[in-house]
Amino acid sequence: MSQPPDEAVAEVPPEEAQDEPVLEQAGRSKRQQRVREALLAYAFLAPAAVVFGVFVFYPFLKNFDLVLYRANPNFPERTTYRGLDEPRRILFDDVIWSDGPWGLLAVSALVLLVAALVRRLVRRPSRRSQPWAVTRYVLVVALVLGAAGVVVSLNRLRHLMVENDVWDSLWITVIFTLMTVPAGIFLGLALAVAAHQRLRGISIYRTVFASTVTTSVAVAAVVFGTLFNPQIGWLPYLGIDLARPLTDDPTWALPLVAFVTVWQNMGFAFIVMSAGLQAVPDDVLEAAKVDGARAWRRFWRITVPLLSPTIFFSVVVGTIMAFQAFGQVDILTRGGPGRDTQVLAYAIYDSSLRGTEPDPSRAAVLSILLFLVTLMVTIFQTRILEKRVHYA
Amino acid sequence: MPEAPDDQTEDELAGGKTAAVVSDEAVALAELQASRLRRGRRWRLLGRYLVLTLLSLLVLIPIYMTVVSSLLIAPGQLTRQPPGLLPFGLPGGWFERFTGGPPQWDSYSEAWSNGNMGLYMRNSAIVTAIIVVGQVITSVLAGYAFALLEFPLKRTLFVVFLATMMVPFEVTILTNLTTITDLGWFDTYTGLAVPFLATGFGAFLLRQAFLQIPQDLKDAAVVDGYGHVRFLLRVAVPLARPMIAALTVFSFLAAWNQYLWPLLATADEDRRTVQIGLKFLKEADLASINQAFAGTVIAVVPLLVLFVMFQKQLIRGLTAGAVKG
């Protein structure tokens, strides 16, 4: 009944043979085979699709529902449409410091600065904007922003700008990101460069550098939370005697959380940068060495531009992960003192039914905000940074 | 005095042995420079190792302090504040401040029993196992479908799968909590594991792996009359083993270190995982802080062991999206 195998193969047009190995028996018609294959594919995809549908897409969409409809506490099933009043209240009340013009001034200055930075990056590359110049620009900007983040955090300048809870959380998260992402990249790069040498026993160092990838946020937070405790920690060995723990200090709470985050991410940053460094071809560097280029120059003009995909990947992933930081805040400071470490993710948790101030609308608004930020960062990467990346 | 140039030329012309005729002074000078270079190189080598060691202290010191602190604080009371830097005594005087006491191994047994770390480890192990198995299976199936099957909406569905990576987890917690509670899965292993049984990242990885299968293998399978299922099990999966191993290690790490969801989905101690256990240990009173330190060590050691054993696979999993080309 069935045709011999070679005739079945000959029956299949070449294009189809490329993307579908027609592995079915030759007895059925091609259409039947395609239907069977499609059904098989859907069957294969079904488990994952169900999980995604129930636990990713449905909750995401439900946020909008939570925002727009008010649940009647007596009849939880019935919800009434209340429009955008609630989100408007959550988002736009008490936004800027009401006591004077300084808040407005500070916010305007900030907006202008960000616009200038982005515009510089977005401008069409002239023939002169070489990969190393762009990469150097990004690294310098990262350094400056990182330093700015630290300064703003230590001076608690954020009080100058916003009073509204939601934007305050966002602002804190931005500062937190500025404190962790550049530091992480520079540290990862330093470790990767140091461990890239051909020395005896270098693999031991590489294992040590990468080992923090096994620590979780809980482990890192417990380790540093207790080590920085004035009574049982190691600060007295450094000659520092504190009246109260760092985690209760409004100035140092966020930097502490940032430090713990950077430490915990060190392993991952090292692994990523190391992988990128290994992709830098040696022959180019050898040629440069023969041509007489010194080590520093070789590094900045050749290695770093060739590392630009990795650097940009680290910036994007680092930013996204920084915006989702939660565990270390929960263990170290619980969002405090006051609201000083209330990052976006923690604010969402706090507003959820298991937090301290349950407020489903506020939680939903914060969730949508978090999603939008993540989306914008990703779009920024694919549209703008990707075009400036130098692919060897 | 050196007759070097002429002699050398003659030797070169002769094409014979190059008896480099150089003066004694030149030889002495060359030797001095060579030894200076060697010493210089040794210093530079030392400098490099020094830098490497200093950098590794960043990682090692907190770990060391944790281990030492877990051994130095007697359970039930704080004998020293602060506990000391070394797990043994040192002669008095200036060294006194660094002295610890005899190591208190009780911290670990206490953390395991009173601190419930044993229970938490079991819970973490079960939940992690379920998640890892689930993620590997769903990713293999999905990856195979996207790589080797043709069906309508294939591209759209692939984008949808990738899009799940775009939605931050915190965005879903509100509703997921309600869903889990309504299904009666609050405080259960099911509730802890089910939301994570599939991952877009895993599907992406496995699709990459399956796309690498050479065409002649596929043609041979056609000739041999293999169905898709058989091809998957007999050919595709064995070939994709490195990627599957990478995904396994990566998933294990992510699942074991999860924090937010176990915090939300459990209230009862019975189903608490290791990470949440650590939080509660830390928040207990200062007198039992040794349990917190010991608990931290207990929580990290399995991962460290796995890491040292499967470093390569883990790195492959982590860098799958990072490095282009």
pLDDT-derived band at B79 (thresholds 50, 70, 90) equals very low
pLDDT of residue A176: 93
What is the pLDDT averaged over residues B3-12? 46
Nearest CA in chain B to A358: B174
C-beta atoms surrounding B322 within 10 Å:
18
Rounded average pLDDT over A21-26: 52
- Residue B172 near residue B179, CB atoms below 8 Å: no
The answer to whether A135 and A304 have CB atoms below 8 angstroms apart is: yes
**Which of A29-43, A44-58, A97-111, A278-292 has the highest average model confidence (pLDDT)?**
A44-58
B284 neighbourhood in chain A, CB within 8 Å? none
Nearest CA in chain B to A351: B174
Supply the pLDDT for residue A23. Answer: 54
Tally C-beta pairs within 8 A across A and B: 323
Does B151 reach chain A within 8 Å, measured CB to CB? yes
Of B142, B166, B319, the CB nearest to A48: B142
pLDDT at B100 over 80: no
pTM of the model: 0.82
The model's pLDDT over A219-237, given as tens digits with 9 standing for 90+, comes to 999 989 888 877 777 776 6
pLDDT band at B15, cuts 50/70/90? very low
- Write the residue in A23, A214, A279 that is nearest to B226 by C-beta: A23
**What pLDDT does residue A18 have?**
39
Choose among A48, A11, A50, A371: nearest CA to B222: A11
Per-residue confidence (pLDDT) for residue B4, from 0 to 100: 44
Residue-level pLDDT at A125: 57
Whether A379 shows a pLDDT value over 70: the answer reads yes
- Cα A313 to Cα A290, A308, B322, B323, distances in angstroms: 31, 8, 6, 8
Chain A residues whose CB is inside 8 A of the B231 CB are 21, 23
Residues B253/B135, Cβ–Cβ less than 8 Å: no
CB of B45 within 8 Å of any CB in chain A?
yes
- Given a contact cutoff of 8 angstroms between Cβ atoms, the answer to whether B174 and A352 are in contact is yes
Which residue do the tokens 């989905």 mark?
B265
Q: Which residue has the higher pLDDT, A13 or B41?
A: B41
CB-closest option in A17, A21, A344 to B148: A21
B127 at A interface, C-beta within 8 A: no
The whole-number average pLDDT for the span B56-60 is 90
Mean pLDDT, residues A71-99 taken together: 66
Contacts of A210 in chain B (CB under 8 A): 307, 311, 315
Block residue for tokens 């922003």: A145
CB atoms near residue B302 (< 10 Å): 17
pLDDT at A284: 80
Work out the average pLDDT over A65-76. Answer: 66
Average pLDDT, chain A: 79
pLDDT band at residue B92 under the 50/70/90 scheme = low
* Mean pLDDT of the region B11-23: 54
Amino acid present at B313: Q
Residue B264 to residue A349, Cβ atoms within 8 A? yes
**What is the least distance, in Å, from the CA of A222 to any CA of chain B?**
7
Query: Are A59 and B173 a contacting pair at CB < 8 A?
Result: yes
pLDDT confidence of residue A278 = 85
**ipTM higher than 0.90?**
no
The predicted pLDDT at position B252 comes to: 92
At A78 the pLDDT is 57
What pLDDT, on the 0 to 100 scale, is given for residue A161? 66
Nearest to A206, CA basis, from A275, A296, A108, A160:
A275
Residue B1 pLDDT class (50, 70, 90 cuts): very low
How far apart CA A363 and CA A347 sit, in angstroms, is 7
Sign of CA dihedral A78, A82, A84, A88: negative
What pLDDT was estimated at residue A220?
A: 92
The pLDDT-based confidence of B75 (bands split at 50, 70, 90) is low
Q: What letter does residue B74 receive in the DSSP assignment? A: P
- Which phi and psi angles does B144 have, rounded to 5°? -65, -45
> Helices B173-182 and A58-68: crossing angle, nearest 10°?
100
Model confidence at B198, pLDDT cuts 50, 70, 90, reads very high
In the prediction, which pLDDT does B6 show? 46
Instruction: Over range B88-100, report the average pLDDT.
Output: 56
Q: Check pLDDT > 60 for residue B207.
A: yes
Of A8, A353, A364, the CB nearest to B177: A353
pLDDT of residue B276: 92
B195 touches chain A (CB under 8 A): yes
Q: B133 falls in which pLDDT band (50, 70, 90)?
A: very high
Mutate to test the interface with B, among A222, A323, A343, A381 (most CBs of B within 10 A): A222
Lowest mean pLDDT among A211-225, A308-322, B74-88, B176-190: B74-88
More confident residue, A74 or B239: B239
For A322-363, write each residue's pLDDT tens digit. 999 999 999 998 887 878 888 999 999 988 888 888 888 888
Place of tokens 């989100």: A87
Q: What percent of chain A has pLDDT over 70?
A: 79
Q: Nearest chain A Cα to B249, which residue?
A: A214
Q: What residues contact residue B250 under an 8 Å CB cut-off, 6+ apart? A: B314, B317, B318
pLDDT score at A110: 78
B71 touches chain A (CB under 8 A): no
Q: Residue A14's pLDDT is what?
A: 42
Please name which of B30, B155, B324 lies closest in space to residue A385, comparing C-alpha atoms.
Answer: B324
Q: What is the 3-state secondary structure (H, E, C) of chain A?
A: CCCCHHHHHHHCCHHHHHHCCCCCCCCCCHHHHHHHHHHHHHHHHHHHHHHHHHHHHHHHHHHHHHHHEEECCCCCCCEEECCCHHHHHHHHCCCECCCCHHHHHHHHHHHHHHHHHHHHHHCCCCCCCCHHHHHHHHHHHHHHHHHHHHHHHHHCHHHHCECCHHHHHHHHHHHHHHHHHHHHHHHHHHHHHHCCCCCCCHHHHHHHHHHHHHCCHHHHHHHHHHHCCCCCCCHHHHCCCCCCCHHHCCCCHHHHHHHHHHHHHHHHHHHHHHHHHHCCCHHHHHHHHHCCCCHHHHHHHHHHHHCHHHHHHHHHHHHHHHHCCCHHHHHHCCCCCCCCCCCHHHHHHHHCCCCCCCCHHHHHHHHHHHHHHHHHHHHHHHHHHHHHCCCC
From the list A58, A202, A331, the residue facing B175 with the nearest CB is A58
Q: What is the mean pLDDT of chain B?
A: 81
CB A253 within 8 A of CB A340: yes
Nearest Cα residue in chain A from B62: A223
Q: Place B104 in a pLDDT band, splitting at 50, 70 and 90.
A: confident
Nearest CB neighbour to A205, from listed B56, B81, B227: B56
Determine the pLDDT at residue A19.
43
- Residue A120's pLDDT band, with cuts at 50, 70 and 90, is confident
Both tokens of A33, joined, read: 């085979």
Cα separation values, A109 from A64, A112, A115, A150, Å: 33, 5, 10, 18
- pLDDT higher than threshold 90 for residue B134: yes
What is the spatial distance between Cα B298 and Cα B308, in angstroms, rounded to a whole number? 16
Task: Give the C-alpha separation, A39 to A56, whole Å.
Answer: 24
Contact in structure between A306 and A280 (CB atoms under 8 Å): yes
Contacts of B81 in chain A (CB under 8 A): 231-232
Q: Could you tell me the pLDDT band of residue B156, with boundaries at 50, 70 and 90? A: very high
CB contact set of B298 (below 8 Å; sequence gap of 6+): B108, B111, B112, B117, B121, B274
User: Is B235 near chain A, with CB under 8 Å?
Assistant: no
For B219-257, write each residue's pLDDT tens digit: 888 888 888 888 888 889 999 998 999 899 889 999 999
Using pLDDT thresholds of 50, 70 and 90, give the confidence band for residue A1.
very low
